[in-house]
Amino acid sequence: MKFNLLTLCALFVVAAVTAQQNKADVLPTAKGNLTITPVQHASLAFTIGNTTIYADPAGGADFSGIKSPDIILITDIHGDHFDTASIIKVKTPKTILVVPQAVADLLPPALKAKAVVLNNGGHTTQAGIAITAIPMYNMGTNPRHTKGRGNGYVLNIGGKNLYLSGDTEGIPEMKALKNIDVAFVCMNLPYTMDVKQAAEAVLAFKPKIVYPYHYRGQNGLSDVNQFKELVNAGDKNIEVRLRNWYPGK
């Protein structure tokens, strides 16, 4: 009996932790509540009404319990953002992919037929959601992410502007963004930028809410608490939301 009780307690704890990891935040919009669900690393989901968007379903990200996607956004060709098997697993026959050309070039024919290709600065509207491709790249010599290859994205959903940085440094195009309600900003050396550079970029474009995401690098997880401290030291009105993007870590 003791073993069974302990087992039940353990299962309860696991279930509670899983629920916490997948808990959606809610953002009121002019078209109803938008749910924002952090999933893993660069993977997340947005749902408003009957429309669901997945961003970068890759790397074993678990979208269980989230409605199948009407739109899938892919930012770059690297395996933590783009994985054909993951796309095939989660898509439906009606799913539209929004991708940069470099990703489109790697898609099998069946997926390529469902792809909308955006270059940096390009626009599309899908399911009533305006999507704009934003540059994402490393600066300096020998960049891991070259300018023009991948996309960050700004989505207008119910009058709210949401920014996904993708893999980037604190580039001028990021710092020049205006009227961003929610931002998802990467910070993982040596692939993107460090915590200080990420905070400086956020303080330049001043989103109302910012989520540090994509913060696993060669030396482990970046210090997102330090990021929050730096941002709020510079602007206490920016809400920094720390969420668990690495289940089991």
Instruction: Provide the pLDDT for residue 1.
Output: 41
Residue 16 falls inside a structural domain = no
Alpha carbons within 13 angstroms on the beta-carbon side of residue 159 total 7
Say how far apart CA 77 and CA 100 lie, in whole Å: 9
100 confidence band (pLDDT: 50, 70, 90): very high
Task: Find, among 42, 43, 39, 49, the residue nearest to 70 by Cα.
Answer: 49
9 confidence band (pLDDT: 50, 70, 90): very low
5 confidence band (pLDDT: 50, 70, 90): very low
Residue 181 falls inside a structural domain = yes
Q: What is the mean pLDDT of residues 151-173?
A: 97
Say how far apart CA 169 and CA 201 lie, in whole Å: 9
Residue 162 falls inside a structural domain = yes
Residue 20 falls inside a structural domain = no
Q: Which strands form 32-40's sheet, in the order they lie side by side?
A: 25-29, 32-40, 43-48, 51-55, 71-73, 96-99, 115-117
First and final C-alpha spacing in the chain: 31
Residue 9 falls inside a structural domain = no
Largest CA distance in the chain: 64
pLDDT higher than threshold 70 for residue 150: yes
Residue 53 falls inside a structural domain = yes
% of the chain surpassing 70 pLDDT: 91
Instruction: Provide the pLDDT for residue 119.
Output: 95
Instruction: Provide the pLDDT for residue 140.
Output: 76
Instruction: Provide the pLDDT for residue 249.
Output: 67
- Residue 193 sits in a domain whose CATH number is 3.60.15.10
pLDDT higher than threshold 90 for residue 104: yes
Counting the structural domains of the chain, the total is 1
Residue 122 falls inside a structural domain = yes
pLDDT tens, 19-78? 344 589 999 999 999 999 999 999 999 999 999 999 999 988 999 999 999 999 999 999
Q: What is the mean pLDDT of residues 202-229?
A: 96
Instruction: Provide the pLDDT for residue 28.
Output: 97
What is the average pLDDT value for the chain, to the nearest integer? 91
Residue 139 falls inside a structural domain = yes
pLDDT higher than threshold 60 for residue 14: no
Which structural domain range is residue 177 located in? 25-240
- Looking at the whole model, is its pTM more than 0.85? yes
Residues 6+ apart with CB under 8 A from 92: 68, 69
